[in-house]
């Protein structure tokens, strides 16, 4: 079959990949569309040493023609973490297209049947690709109280930053989005206050919650400047490299710093189905699977909107 193969340092579009063999309790899906995420671009450069087929944001079809997507953590459901309700932290897990399991940038993909979510008709193929990153944005609301009294800032005007800003707004917060690109800040819409990074001093030490979605080493440092004493900083993106930020402000200002990864798919599906969140402005180009290498180049350009691959 065709697919996008990552060899640990680069990616290739290939036609000679073996058909995926389902592991126990897995089903085979025909893939319809896949999104390229910043994690895919990092993986293609060697992050995590992943070898295999990429792709974890996708829409597929079951043998009976049902439109589905799947959660990406393939957990054992038997270990203490799983039994304690933290299957996303299962030490035995594989992660679709990221860790020890082939992903969905291919004609077919295998996923555990229990990870499937049916996609309502009101969500089109392109929107469905955003369910996984939108679920990740909803995760913050499970970890930190966010409501009408919350002054919340997202740093980073990329796709995940904008999704986090939209979710926080839906939860009632007063939301600012800090970034370097006026045109990307504008994509977030009028309900989100845009602030250029150079001008972020105007909200210094005032924010209850600051979410770092920059994927950059300076993200934490900037977040610590904006959060109020006893506020919370949420780290939403991994940085391939080392931080050299001084941690003293965390102690002095008694700031909580928490990590945040995968989130609830049902909330993301409900928000897209009810049109409370419209992700279409975040979509850039769409490429057929045969032109996946070109799609990766487009997705790697600075400020690129979401690039989709049509299978
Ligand atoms: Zn992703
Ligand atoms: Zn487990």
Distance (Å, rounded) from C-alpha 142 to C-alpha 262? 11
Distance (Å, rounded) from C-alpha 84 to C-alpha 78? 10
- Total domains in the chain come to 2
- Mean pLDDT computed over 7-23: 95
Residues 118 and 143 in one domain: no
What ligand has the least distance to the C-alpha of 85? Answer: 2
88 Cα–ligand 2 center, Å: 8
CATH number of the domain to which 102 belongs: 3.90.180.10
Residues 106 and 144 in one domain: no
- C-alpha radius of gyration, the chain, whole number: 19
74 Cα–ligand 2 center, Å: 9
The token duo for 204 is 């210094």
Tell me, yes or no, whether 265 lies in a domain: no
65 Cα–ligand 2 center, Å: 30
Tell me, yes or no, whether 270 lies in a domain: no
Q: How confident is the model at residue 73 (pLDDT cuts 50, 70, 90)?
A: very high
What ligand has the least distance to the C-alpha of 135? Answer: 1
255 Cα–ligand 2 center, Å: 31
Strand pairing report for 193-196 and 283-288: unpaired
Residues 126 and 144 in one domain: no
Answer yes or no: is pLDDT of 9 > 90. no
41 Cα–ligand 1 center, Å: 10
Range of the domain at 236: 137-259
> Which pLDDT belongs to residue 245?
86
CATH number of the domain to which 239 belongs: 3.40.50.720
Residues 90 and 195 in one domain: no
46 Cα–ligand 1 center, Å: 16
- Mean pLDDT computed over 239-246: 77
Tell me, yes or no, whether 198 lies in a domain: yes
Residues 283 and 203 in one domain: no
Tell me, yes or no, whether 89 lies in a domain: yes
What ligand has the least distance to the C-alpha of 41? Answer: 1
The token duo for 168 is 């926080």
Count of residues making up the chain: 311
The string of pLDDT tens digits covering residues 160-184 is 999 999 999 999 999 999 999 999 9
25 Cα–ligand 2 center, Å: 15
Residues 186 and 303 in one domain: no
Ligand 1 ion: Cβ-proximal residues, 5 Å cutoff:
37, 39
Residues 246 and 296 in one domain: no
Contact criterion met (CB below 8 Å) for 148 and 171 = no
Residues 120 and 180 in one domain: no
Residues 9 and 126 in one domain: yes
Tell me, yes or no, whether 274 lies in a domain: no
Phi-psi region of 293 (alpha: psi -120 to 50; beta: other; left: phi over 0): alpha
Q: How confident is the model at residue 308 (pLDDT cuts 50, 70, 90)?
A: very high
Residues 145 and 125 in one domain: no
- CA nearest neighbour of 161 among 182, 143, 136, 125: 136
Residues 289 and 246 in one domain: no
The string of pLDDT tens digits covering residues 110-130 is 999 999 999 999 999 999 999
Contact criterion met (CB below 8 Å) for 151 and 174 = yes
Tell me, yes or no, whether 267 lies in a domain: no
For residue 166, what are the contacts with CB-CB under 8 A and spacing of at least 6? 137, 188, 189, 192, 277
What ligand has the least distance to the C-alpha of 91? Answer: 2
Q: How confident is the model at residue 37 (pLDDT cuts 50, 70, 90)?
A: very high
> Which pLDDT belongs to residue 240?
67
248 Cα–ligand 1 center, Å: 32
| 91 class by beta-carbon count within 10 Å (0-12 exposed, 13-18 middle, 19+ buried) | exposed
| Helix orientation angle between 159-170 and 131-143, rounded to the nearest 10 degrees | 50
166 Cα–ligand 2 center, Å: 32
95 Cα–ligand 2 center, Å: 12
Tell me, yes or no, whether 14 lies in a domain: yes
**SS3 at position 29:** strand
Residues 93 and 182 in one domain: no
38 or 228, higher pLDDT: 228
| 61 class by beta-carbon count within 10 Å (0-12 exposed, 13-18 middle, 19+ buried) | middle
Tell me, yes or no, whether 271 lies in a domain: no
Q: How confident is the model at residue 51 (pLDDT cuts 50, 70, 90)?
A: very high
The string of pLDDT tens digits covering residues 181-211 is 999 999 999 999 999 999 999 999 999 999 9
258 or 9, higher pLDDT: 258
What ligand has the least distance to the C-alpha of 77? Answer: 2
């Amino acid at each position: 079959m065709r697919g996008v193969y990552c060899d640990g340092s680069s990616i290739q579009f290939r036609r000679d990949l073996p058909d995926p063999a389902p592991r126990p309790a897995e089903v085979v899906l025909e893939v319809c569309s896949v999104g390229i995420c910043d994690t895919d671009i990092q993986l293609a450069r060697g992050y995590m040493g992943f070898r295999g087929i990429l792709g974890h944001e996708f829409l597929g079809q079951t043998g009976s023609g049902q439109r589905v997507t799947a959660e990406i953590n393939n957990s054992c459901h038997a270990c203490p973490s799983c039994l304690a309700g933290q299957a996303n932290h299962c030490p035995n897990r594989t992660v679709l297209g990221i860790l020890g399991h082939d992903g969905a940038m291919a004609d077919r993909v295998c996923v555990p049947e229990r990870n499937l979510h049916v996609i309502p008709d009101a969500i089109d193929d392109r929107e469905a690709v955003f369910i996984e990153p939108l679920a990740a944005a909803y995760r913050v609301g499970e970890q930190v109280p966010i409501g009408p009294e919350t002054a919340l800032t997202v740093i980073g005007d990329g796709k995940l930053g904008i999704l986090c800003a939209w979710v926080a707004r839906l939860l009632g917060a007063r939301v600012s989005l800090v970034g370097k690109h006026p045109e990307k800040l504008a994509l977030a819409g009028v309900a989100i206050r845009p602030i250029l990074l150079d001008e972020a001093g105007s909200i210094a030490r005032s924010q209850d919650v600051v979410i770092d979605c920059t994927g950059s080493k300076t993200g934490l440092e900037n977040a610590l400047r904006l959060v109020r004493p006893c506020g919370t900083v949420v780290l939403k993106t991994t940085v391939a490299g080392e931080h050299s930020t001084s941690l003293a402000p965390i102690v002095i200002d008694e700031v909580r710093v928490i990590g945040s990864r995968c989130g609830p798919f049902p909330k993301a599906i409900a928000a897209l189905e009810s049109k409370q969140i419209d992700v279409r402005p975040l979509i850039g180009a769409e490429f057929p699977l045969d032109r996946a290498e070109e799609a990766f180049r487009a997705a790697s350009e600075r400020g690129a909107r979401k690039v989709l691959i049509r299978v």
